[in-house]
Amino acid sequence: MSALRDQVKMWAGQLIKTAKLSSWGQKWGTVNIAGAAVDTSLGQKASPQSVVFYQWQGFRVKPKLQGTQAVVLAPRSGSANAVAVACDDLTTGPQPADELEPVIYDAAGSTITFDKSGSVEINTASGATALLDSDGNIWLIPKAGRSVKAGSGVNAELDQIATKADVQSAMDAILSHKHPFVMGAVEVSAELAVPGVLTINGSPNCYARKP
């Protein structure tokens, strides 16, 4: 019984194992995994094994090699047909605390977080944030000193967005102005003569395509 158990373990070890990624293959979709430990003092050389790296269709990423472990399967127990079906380095990257709250991240530090509330938040390593909240609102927050631009990627086609408060201030000045009537002549309105009273400055960091 013991011999049979050892034989089964050996077969299982040939079919399924975990191994460290060591280098990328010459073709996209192939990766080399580290082989058994070698003693270079005895003249032994490392013999990495090439495997096909499968990912979910529609999503592709080139994992980092350093510290990454892969789950390797060998169909028909043949190393020539070995495939890696998953890999990860659990010592790096975000660590979601709640169930079914996936986080997509990259090497730079940018993340896309799906929250249980129903919101989706994009945070870039550069400091910008885009939040689609659970109420259906869209929040765009640029890095300090940067701007939000909508409708075009060409600066010359953009203009500053005028806020309601800015426009209302100019409208109030127009509605409240008076023209003095002196000696039968209409004088210039003192309210509208104030420099900048009708100037609409627009948002300091929000731009939209010109009409």
User: Is 39 a residue whose pLDDT tops 60?
Assistant: no
pLDDT value of position 121: 97
pLDDT for 137-167, tens place per residue? Answer: 999 999 999 999 999 999 999 999 888 888 8
160: tokens are 């500053």
Instruction: Look at residue 114 in the predicted model and tell me its pLDDT.
Output: 95
pTM over 0.75: no
Using pLDDT thresholds of 50, 70 and 90, give the confidence band for residue 110. Answer: very high
Strands (E) across the chain are located at 16-24, 30-33, 49-53, 69-73, 83-88, 103-105, 111-114, 120-123, 129-132, 138-141, 148-150, 158-160, 181-182, 185-186, 206-209
Distance CA 142, CA 149 (A): 10
- CATH of region 2-88, choose from 2.40.50, 1.10.1060, 1.10.472, 2.30.30: 2.40.50
| Mean of all residue pLDDT scores within the chain | 84
> Looking at this protein, which amino acid is placed at residue 89?
D
Q: What is the pLDDT of residue 49?
A: 84
Instruction: Report the alpha-carbon distance of residue 128 to residue 136 in Å, rounded.
Output: 19
Q: Is residue 41 predicted with pLDDT exceeding 70?
A: no
How far is CA 56 from each of CA 40, 53, 60, 83, 115, rounded to the nearest angstrom? Answer: 38, 10, 7, 14, 22
Q: Across 44-48, 142-146, 191-195, which has the greatest mean pLDDT?
A: 142-146
Cα(109)–Cα(151) distance, integer angstroms = 27
Question: Rounded distance, CA 187 to CA 90, Å?
Answer: 77
Question: Is it the case that residue 8 has pLDDT exceeding 90?
Answer: no
- In the chain, CATH 2.40.50 sits at 2-88
Q: What number of other Cβ atoms are within 10 A of residue 2's Cβ? A: 6
